[in-house]
Amino acid sequence: MVKMGHVDGIRRVRYTPPSERTGDIEVNTLAGIRERGGAHEFLTTQRLDFDLLFAVDEGSAVHTVDFTEHPLDAGDLLWVRAGQVHHWGRIDDIEGPVVMFGPHVVDDRTRELVRSRSARLRSHWAAAELRDSPVDPALALLVASGRLTGDRPDLRLSALTHALAGLLVQLMLVQPADDVPDLAPTHEAYGWFRDHIEEQFEVWHKVGDYADRLGYSTRTLNRLARQHTGLSAKQLIDERIVLEAKRRLSHGDASAAEVAEQLGFDDASNFSSYFRRHTGTTPAAFRRGGARP
């Protein structure tokens, strides 16, 4: 991991392999990344340019991902995706294996399978959910693949890639205790809509903008959004805009007016009204509250 400076007040961190042999999938431990990063590496809010997945073998801490706190205990697993904003808790209090990888190393088929089982991003899996599942053996295989040595780095990378794909798919098969069983695969058009929100939310605020681009009616997008998340298409767009506004207000130095402009609002007053309608507070009050990610 190396520092990239601050963007919008959030420290960007990109992944650089510690050696040529490591490649784009690194298997390490929490103790190992603490030693490599140093004491100050884990104190500030970060936006990663890679995926970070780790399991807790012992200890407990609270890890925050995009303003949601996840209490971690032995047996739990956390997955922070590239682009998410996160804050380490007491990393010295937990131990376990860590996997860091660029999203590009996940093959297209696996990526689509993961997308089809996760209408909403999930970060935390509790030990009780993982018990008796294939997740622990899949993680053990990935860790073992990371220890492979020899003069065939191509075979090692192949083993790591396949083990990682297996682990991610097994995670998607874990059914949350409070979820509806037998989830249907995500509709292809909903996946496109979700991807377009991520790419265009700073410019497109209306469902019609996405409907026109995707070739579907606003009614269809609303039906798919409610089918997969329980929210309307407009609520999903608003949810993404508000998340980014919170990130920039909480961690950046830009004024509310500048954040409004960055997020495609024509003036600060409209942005303030919008933010208050969706959060119950003004941008200024939210910033004074000093919320962490």
pLDDT of residue 116: 65
- Rounded to the nearest 5°, which phi and psi values hold at 33? -75, -30
Q: Which two tokens stand for residue 153?
A: 């780095």
| Domains detected in the chain | 2-173 (2.60.120.280), 188-288 (1.10.10.60)
pLDDT in tens, 86-98: 999 999 999 999 9
198 Cβ contact partners less than 8 Å away, ≥ 6 residues apart: 240
pLDDT of residue 2: 46
Residue 99 has pLDDT above 90, yes or no: yes
Q: Please say whether the beta carbons of 88 and 42 come within 8 A.
A: yes
pLDDT of residue 39: 77
pLDDT in tens, 147-176: 888 778 888 889 999 999 999 999 988 876
Q: Is the pTM of this model over 0.75?
A: yes
pLDDT in tens, 39-88: 788 988 888 999 999 999 999 999 999 999 999 999 999 999 998 999 99
Beta strands in 118-221 (DSSP E): 124-125
pLDDT above 70 covers what percent of the chain? 90
Mean pLDDT of 130-157: 90
Residue 196 has pLDDT above 90, yes or no: yes
Task: For residue 242, count other CB atoms closer than 10 A to its CB.
Answer: 17
